[in-house]
Amino acid sequence: MSKPQRLRLLAPLAVMFPSLLTGAKASAQAAAWPSTPIRMVVPFPPGGSSDILTRLVADHMGKILGANIFIDNKPGGTTQVGTEFVANAAPDGNTLLMAASSSYTQLPNLRKLNYSFDSFETAGGVADYIAVMAVRKTLPIKTMKEFIDYAKANPGKLSFGSAGEASAGHVFGLTLAHDTGIKVLHVPYKGSVAAVNDLVAGEIDFIIDGAATPMVKSDRIQPLSVFYKKRHPDLPNVPTLSETGYNINLTRGAGWGLMAPKGTPKPIMDKLANALQKALETKELQDAMVRANTIAAWTPPEEFKKAILSDQKMLAQLLPAIGIRGN
């Protein structure tokens, strides 16, 4: 049969059963995928928890999928730059995003964005975040109570660094200040590592960030508490915030999810979800992720979406209350 004859036979099918042909095309595309290297975008600079987490997950998923997954750091705008890049990428499964939940929970409450959660397909939730609160060694502070007492005796004199405006560390710090009645000064950085380095150098007074962990382990800064529901596996002697007698509404773990541009074929998303879940179930990856201050936490796509939208509503009320307002 000649090609023109085949096309004439297929033409009525395209009119009568467009979804059938679209589905067949998607299935064929998924069957061939992945056939080229996959870009996994991190909307943060290299070296922080998000970057380390992504490299670990990409390595394990690549082995499961039989694919080369390379990391592309696109920091800026407190995750906005990298997130928008992926939202505008071709929906072919070859560009993915290790999305920070703040991209969809905090930022939409602060500025107009060219994306929303619905701009993406979701492969699932990836991990919870373990933030560590620590102060510079030269402060006369060893416990959370001593910190609160010192801050109240010196209102507005303690400064804290974060990965940027509206980052998890920024929200943690101002929520703690709001709930305990202290006054502190926020200093935004272009990434957590730079903030931790300045804390060690004594340029700022404290931080609430997982990136502080290596400096705590080397005894270069003083840990006070862990902002998570459990103790940090690598810092078993550091109490959780609730164990110190304090608590805030955000210590359950701000997480990550694996996303792809809207319109990425479902068979490809199913492959990604399956590979992600298998990767997160391996003890090797779980143990390695602890070193990135994260806890492997596979969450099905619909559950992840529900949690994100719930947090977005909660933060719509919290952010103005703690002094973080939109442009």
Kindly give the confidence (pLDDT) of every residue in the chain, 327 residues in length, as a single tens digit, with 9 standing for 90 and above.
554 554 455 555 555 555 555 555 656 667 789 999 999 999 998 988 889 999 999 999 999 999 999 999 999 888 999 999 999 999 999 999 999 998 999 899 999 999 999 999 999 999 999 999 999 999 999 999 999 999 999 999 999 999 888 888 999 999 999 999 999 999 999 889 999 999 999 999 999 999 999 999 999 999 999 999 899 999 999 999 999 999 887 655 558 999 999 999 999 999 999 999 999 999 999 999 998 889 998 999 999 999 999 899 999 999 999 998 876
Q: What is the pLDDT of residue 253?
A: 57
Number of structural domains the chain divides into: 2
Tell me, yes or no, whether 291 and 305 share the same domain: yes
Give the end of a domain, one of 187, 220, 244. Answer: 244
Tell me, yes or no, whether 117 and 207 share the same domain: no
Give the end of a domain, one of 217, 244, 271. Answer: 244
Tell me, yes or no, whether 115 and 178 share the same domain: no
Residue whose tokens read 């009525």: 12
Q: Between the CA of residue 134 and those of 46, 205, 281, what are the distances in Å?
A: 22, 9, 31
Q: What is the pLDDT of residue 12?
A: 55
Tell me, yes or no, whether 100 and 136 share the same domain: no
Element (H, E) at 17: none
Tell me, yes or no, whether 263 and 177 share the same domain: no
Tell me, yes or no, whether 122 and 135 share the same domain: no
Q: What is the pLDDT of residue 3?
A: 47
Q: Is residue 216 part of a domain?
A: yes
Q: Is residue 26 part of a domain?
A: no
Return the CATH number at 111.
3.40.190.150
Return the CATH number at 191.
3.40.190.10
Domain that holds residue 200: 131-244
Q: Is residue 13 part of a domain?
A: no
Tell me, yes or no, whether 219 and 140 share the same domain: yes
Q: Is residue 12 part of a domain?
A: no
Looking at residue 127, its amino acid is: A
Q: What is the pLDDT of residue 288?
A: 94
Nearest to 84 by CA among 108, 112, 113, 55: 113
Q: What is the pTM of this model?
A: 0.82
Tell me, yes or no, whether 40 and 173 share the same domain: no
Q: What is the pLDDT of residue 25?
A: 60
Task: For residue 186, give both structure tokens.
Answer: 């926020």
Distance CA 282, CA 292 (A): 16
Residue 156, Ramachandran bin (φ over 0: left; ψ between -120 and 50: alpha; else beta): left
Distance CA 274, CA 299 (A): 11
Q: Is residue 314 part of a domain?
A: yes
Tell me, yes or no, whether 228 and 261 share the same domain: no
**Helices (H), strands (E): how many in the chain?**
12, 11
Tell me, yes or no, whether 172 and 234 share the same domain: yes
Nearest to 257 by CA among 130, 135, 104, 73: 104
Sheet holding 69-73, edge to edge: 69-73, 38-42, 95-100, 256-261, 120-129, 294-299
Give the end of a domain, one of 195, 221, 244. Answer: 244
Q: Is residue 10 part of a domain?
A: no
| SS3 letters across 110-150 | CCCCCCCHHHEEEEEEEEEECEEEEEECCCCCCCHHHHHHH
Q: What is the pLDDT of residue 247?
A: 85
Tell me, yes or no, whether 140 and 117 share the same domain: no
